[in-house]
Amino acid sequence: MTSGRGNMPGNIKGTVMRYISIFILSCLMTAESYAFDKDRPLLAATLNYPPYQYIENGEPKGIAVEIITEAIRRTGVKQVIFNFYPWKRAVHLTQSGQSDILFNAGKNDARQQWGEYIESTLILQRYVLFKKSDSSIKVNAKFDNVNNSLIAIRLGYLYGSGPFRQALDSDKFGGITLSNSTQQSVDLLLGGRVDLMVGDYLPVMRYIKKQALHDKIDIVKDPNKNVDNMVVLTWPTFIVFSKKTSKASMLMKLMPPWRA
């Protein structure tokens, strides 16, 4: 359990200020109209997912953490406590009202039943396919040539509603293995238990670089261009407030421009 406080690095601060500029003025103008306990920390749940959000030396870091910390601070709430869990647990805790916020979350109808989404995109993720460097596997845009390929996907992830999601749902792959982390997906791939893994480009490439695995893992290329990575999904993620916590419902009233 860690709180997001302290000075932001210059490059992060610039991104944060650009993001919040569209709604800060309105927040400041309306905050005085609502009375609630701004001294109680706001609880935010997510998964460990560098470079977006992660723990370093016991402190929460990452662009998503900095955006949320600064934006909530401008409403008058003094502290956000960031808790990191396996993704399905983070979702459950927010759904049940044990956490006020779920962030870096995709949108679907089921989550909108219990959560109030801020419509502005928090992070825009790009998902690509990874294979072992010595693999000759090719994947086409219709995913009709992967019936002999096993793939690792992340447990609890939505993956949208496009061709890739449809390929998963219609069993076009030879088999699907669920993974709880980037590390587990990479281990499955390098261990020969799957032929492909899907992952958000930035977090996976960060992990590959950190583990010095550039010579062991490649990105599947676009079959039509061959030099470009095959992006199977471009996926916006959001901040979600639990409808079960009064703290969250009050904060939503303070932030109408986030819905713009």
Where do the domains of the chain lie?
2-123+236-259, 126-235
- Whole-model pTM? 0.76
pLDDT of residue 252: 60
The CATH T-level fold of domain 126-235 is D-Maltodextrin-Binding Protein; domain 2 (3.40.190)
pLDDT interval class at 19 (50, 70, 90): low
Distance CA 257, CA 260 (A): 5
pLDDT of residue 118: 80
CB neighbourhood size of 235 (10 A):
19
DSSP 222: P
Q: Which CATH architecture has domain 2-123+236-259?
A: 3-Layer(aba) Sandwich (3.40)
pLDDT of 146 higher than 70: yes
Residue with tokens 């860690």: 2
Distance CA 107, CA 14 (A): 27
- Is the pLDDT higher at 178 or at 255? 178
pLDDT of residue 176: 98
Q: Do domains 2-123+236-259 and 126-235 have the same CATH topology?
A: yes
pLDDT of 14 higher than 60: no
Token representation of residue 184: 């587990």
What residue ranges in 96-165 does DSSP mark as E strands? 101-105, 115-117, 123-132, 150-154
Token representation of residue 98: 């044990």
pLDDT interval class at 33 (50, 70, 90): very low
Task: List pLDDT tens digits, range 47-57.
Answer: 999 999 999 99
Identify the three-state secondary structure at position 227.
coil
**Regarding beta strands 217-219 and 80-84, do their DSSP bridges make them parallel or antiparallel, or are they unpaired?**
unpaired
Distance CA 23, CA 29 (A): 10
pLDDT of 30 higher than 50: no
Which span out of 27-41, 104-118, 194-208 was modeled with the highest average pLDDT? 194-208
Residue 154's beta-bridge partner residues? 179
Task: List pLDDT tens digits, range 159-213.
Answer: 988 999 999 999 999 999 999 999 999 999 999 999 999 999 999 999 999 999 9
Distance CA 115, CA 248 (A): 10
Token representation of residue 193: 């238990």
pLDDT interval class at 257 (50, 70, 90): very low
CB neighbourhood size of 218 (10 A):
17
